[in-house]
Amino acid sequence: MNNPLLDTSSLPRFGDIRPDHVLPAIQALISDHRNKLDTLLNENNNPSFESLVVPVELMEHELGRVWSPIIHLQSVLGSNDWREAYNQALPLLTEHGTEISQNARLQNAYAGVGESLADDDNESHRSAVDHALRDFHLAGVDLPEADKQRYKDIMQELAGTQASFEHNVQDAMDAWFLRIVDEGELSGLPQQALDRAAEDARAKNLDGWLWSLDYPSFDVIMKHAHDRRLRETMYRAWTTRGSELCGNPEWDNSANMEKILALRHEAANLVGFNSYADYSLATKMAGSVDDVLGFLRRLAARSRSAAEHELTELQKFAGMKLEPWDITFWFEKYKQARYSVSNEELRQYFPSRTVINGLFALAAKLYGVELIELDDVEVWHEDARYFAIRNESDDVIGGFYADIYARNGKRNGAWIDECIGRKNLNGKTSLPVGYLVCNFQPPDENGLSLLTHDDVVTLFHEFGHMLHHLLTRIDLPSISGINGVPWDAVELPSQFMENFAWSYEVLRKCSAHPETGEPLPRALFDKLAQSRNAGAGLAMLRQLELGMFDFRLHAEYSPDDPTPVLDMLNSVRDEVSLLQHPAYNRMPHAFSHIFAGGYAAGYYSYKWAEVLAADAFSAFENAGIFDPETARRFRHEILEVGGSRDIMDAYIAFRGRPPTIDALLRQNGIRTG
């Protein structure tokens, strides 16, 4: 096959794929699918699930397999050629997706299939059709032709503008650096971070230390730098990414944000919703705008007194009024003084490879699966690895790529994405494969990367998502794994998994001092556990601030008199935050979750799902965290069902009752009485 992107017979051929393969592959595939769909509709006078839905599912699965390496490589390689190829193909994919979603003949055919399934006991079939019919409506299939075209145009503009937003953030980060030649300014920073900064300087033939704006560099300076001016310098750079203050007007996302909000609102209005927030909730668990805002405000009210106490204690400990660039540093000092624990001391016990092995051992204990690294799978970078997952019968049931170290050009943050979705149709099976991406401290010259405990929690979080993708038993791609799951429940498996990173039995298997081989000492873990809720109230308010800002921004948007983004941020901070932020803070300009990712009017999902996760984990605490029956029930009722079942019904089947917020409050050390 000439174009390796079109070879879907195996894993992506990363050694062969080039940017110039992208546009021809996408054009050819879209043309082929248009022809297949026309034939399907013209020759299918009495459509059934097998004759209509299965072929459509197969086409969508094939398109996903071709597109997944493209979107992935432009995120992790920092290549202008890959970005350009992605930007050329994105409008074609967007147009094609909207074209299918607005196809009235296809919608009518699905409706006919839905009626024929009324008495069918196949829950997956009904769910796939119901999801499709909902999505037809949300894409404007019922609209007059002029409005359909406008909706299509909006989707094109949105896709391009959101991509521009993300690229501006990345470019601003890649361009920024700070060179320091006076070692005295670096007091307090751990040796591993200093070594990396010195190596980065040498790579550019410079003396001293060179600091970039990736998250490990930002985090280590905010936690450990004694020099307050250095902390503020890094804070300022971080909070002005993608803004008019970042050093290059071409990277300013101000206009992008205004355009994105306007386009989303117009699209929502076109299909009959008052706001984009209302539109967003059509695919989520929460019932209404008032439900979401009420939930966020109740949680804020329950958390406020704890946060106020924390801030008072911290400022008393520091002996001064604290600014935002002081909080992380002084919490680290506070934990050392009160609990005799520090991130750097903990880091010495968490080599990345040991953590991964311990995490895999946990998955084996809970779910009876085995994860094995395969050395003969093509990858896109020397840091990337591939792991296969086997079940109790020693059958391979899927796999995933892991790319966990920070590097220049790689998108910031941590995420998982689908490479291949599970499929079992017409006698042909595709096993689920995913990408797991993080930005941890890269290995030193000895190949050693030491993780903070926060990094360990992040890795557990993303692996929870990956298990959701890999352990699905649903054969229809549109509702297998994470697909079809309400967005405010997608975080349930990931946040649930975080809890195991606070278990000594688990961390003992995830730790080994690189010099002695000794696991994390029990005494040190006890100090860590005691410090778990230090700052939990302030952290809770911070997440609620982000969730409320996102949701109000979309719920209250008025095209005639739009509230400036920064004014909305200040309004939310006046209501929720206890900290005074500097006037230059431009947090929204790099808030990719909502302006470039899938969390628009949905960032509240982290807290919504955290309630589910804490309540679910309390079942494990009651039965024993490795209790095989509880783990079997969680796997069967939550991880395996994908979008085939109403998520609240699935949760109640696991837990025996609906969730309550009490477990989350207790987990954060906040009184529930």
Residues designated as active site: 462
Are 230 and 221 contacting, i.e. CB atoms less than 8 angstroms apart?
yes
Calpha distance 196→180 (Å, rounded): 13
Contacts of 541 (CB under 8 A, 6+ apart): 300, 303, 304, 307, 576, 577, 578
Cβ–Cβ contacts within 10 Å for residue 603, how many?
Answer: 25
Calpha distance 472→495 (Å, rounded): 18
- Residue 226: what residue type? H
Residue 86: name the closest of 68, 101, 99, 100 by CA.
68
370 beta partners: 390
Calpha distance 221→230 (Å, rounded): 8
Torsions phi, psi for 416 (to 5 deg): -120, 155
Q: Which residues of 356-372 are buried (b: 16+ CB within 10 A; e: fewer)?
A: bbbbbebbebbbebbbe
Are 537 and 310 contacting, i.e. CB atoms less than 8 angstroms apart?
yes
- Residue 594: what residue type? I
Calpha distance 156→98 (Å, rounded): 9
Torsions phi, psi for 13 (to 5 deg): -90, 75
Positive or negative CA dihedral for 308, 312, 318, 324? positive
DSSP state of 49: I
Q: Coil, strand or helix: which one is 187?
A: coil
Read off the tokens for 238: 């971080």
Calpha distance 220→384 (Å, rounded): 24
Residues in the chain, how many?
673
- Residue 257: what residue type? M
Calpha distance 618→655 (Å, rounded): 10
Calpha distance 63→6 (Å, rounded): 9
Contacts of 174 (CB under 8 A, 6+ apart): 78, 213, 408, 409
Burial bucket for residue 662 (CB in 10 Å: 0-12, 13-18, 19+)? middle
Cα angle vertex 488, ends 95, 595, to 5°? 50
Calpha distance 278→3 (Å, rounded): 42
Q: Where are the alpha helices (DSSP H) in 77-185?
A: 80-101, 104-116, 123-138, 145-175
Calpha distance 391→493 (Å, rounded): 19
Read off the tokens for 543: 């997440």
Calpha distance 367→391 (Å, rounded): 8
Are 165 and 596 contacting, i.e. CB atoms less than 8 angstroms apart?
yes
Q: Which residues of 455-476 are buried (b: 16+ CB within 10 A; e: fewer)?
A: bbbbbbbbbbbbbbbbbbbbbb
One DSSP character per residue, 268-293 reads HHHTT-SSHHHHHHTTSS---HHHHH
